[in-house]
Amino acid sequence: MTSLEVTLRKLREGGRRAFVPYFMAGMTGDWLRHVEAAANAGADAIEIGLPFSDPMIDGVIIQQAAERALERGTTLASVVRDLATLDVGVPLLAMTYYNVLLHGGLERSAAMLAQVNVRGAIVPDLPPEESDEWASACASRDVATIYLVAPSTPKERVTVIAQRTQGYCYAQGRMAVTGTTSEEGNGAAVAAAVRAVSDVPVYVGIGVSTPEQAANAAPYCDGVIVGSALVRRLLDGATPEDVENFVKSFRTVLDAKNN
């Protein structure tokens, strides 16, 4: 079992609903300060987006963030250099598209990430069928490969994915790209489908943007992932303090609830 999963299972055993914020690496000069702020405010793990020019499953907010990061010259290497200076005490998870890793070289990319305390990776355009090579590059370096389950995923596939995912299973709360903010979602059903076939922690993402939504999700999952809602604030100039407050607002509802 990957160290990430060990950590996250422990959280669950401790009755804690995890909160996982997402940052776009290199989007601003002080992006690491935002990451630190989130960790200080109680984030349990942090997704670090490595920007890609054509982010197929991301909505406009993450797209803009990626554009800014790329304009600032962000690369896998620059992110790794940055992360080498960071010590936040919670696991970091890389989130990016496959082509970025391919071009870094799968083994080399995995090695670079592992070296700077990245303990998991989410590659949304890399379904299980295509990920053997990447998964093995990660496996030898204790980098968990995290897979998504979508509302459209049929039962048999849920089983396969839930068995394969490491750290947690990313339950996509809604048939939409990141950053859509409509109210209705399928998070509960997706999480239940995963739980029906596996005891891997289940975190809900895509469709959680407010503490209220997080509170609603908490009963049926082990954690929530919030990306666009946070990144939107950062695009608008949020400070590390703003980030702390943002994270705390989620922390509060997740901790308050006795699920």
Partner 1 sequence: MNSPEVFMDKPDASGRFGDFGGRFVPEALMTACLELETAFREAWADDAFVSEFHEVLHTFGGRPTPVTELSRLSRHLGLRIFAKREDLAHTGSHKINNVVGQTLLTKRMGKSRVIAETGAGQHGVATATAAARLGLSCTVYMGELDTQRQALNVFRMELLGATVVPVTSGSRTLKDAVNEAMREWVSCVEDTHYCLGSVMGPHPFPWMVREFQSIIGREASRQLSEMGVGTPDVVVACVGGGSNAAGIFAGFANTDARLVGVEAAGGAAIATGSPGVLHGMRSMLIQDEFGQIEEAHSISAGLDYPGIGPEHAFLADAHRAHYVAIGDDDVIPALQLLSELEGIVPALETAHAVAWLIREAGNSLAPGTSVLLNLSGRGDKDVAQVREILRGQS
Report DSSP letters for 82-124, one per residue: HHTT---SS-EEEE--HHHHHHH-HHHHHHHHHHTTEEEEE-T
Segment near partner 1 (CB under 8 A); pick from 9-17, 19-27, 147-155, 225-233: 147-155
| CB 4 within 8 Å of CB 114 | no
Whole-number Å distance between alpha carbons of 65 and 80: 18
58 flagged as catalytic: yes
Residue closer to partner 1 by CB (options 21, 104) is: 104
Q: Is 71 in the site for partner 1 (CB under 8 A)?
A: no
User: 44-63: which residues touch partner 1 (CB under 8 A)?
Assistant: 52-60, 63
| Distance, CA of 132 to CA of 191 (rounded, Å) | 25
Check 5, 36, 44, 58 and give the catalytic one: 58
For residues 177-206, which are near partner 1 according to CB under 8 A? 177, 180
Return the structure tokens found at 14: 């401790």
Nearer of residues 77 and 256 to partner 1, judged by Cβ = 77
Nearest to 16 by CA among 36, 44, 52: 44
Query: Alpha-carbon distance 245 to 151, whole Å?
Result: 31
Q: Is 212 a catalytic residue?
A: no
Catalytic annotation, pick one of 5, 36, 44, 47? 47
Contact positions vs partner 1 (CB under 8 A): 52-60, 63, 67, 70, 75-76, 97-104, 124-127, 129-130, 147-154, 157, 161, 172, 175-177, 180
Catalytic residues: 47, 58
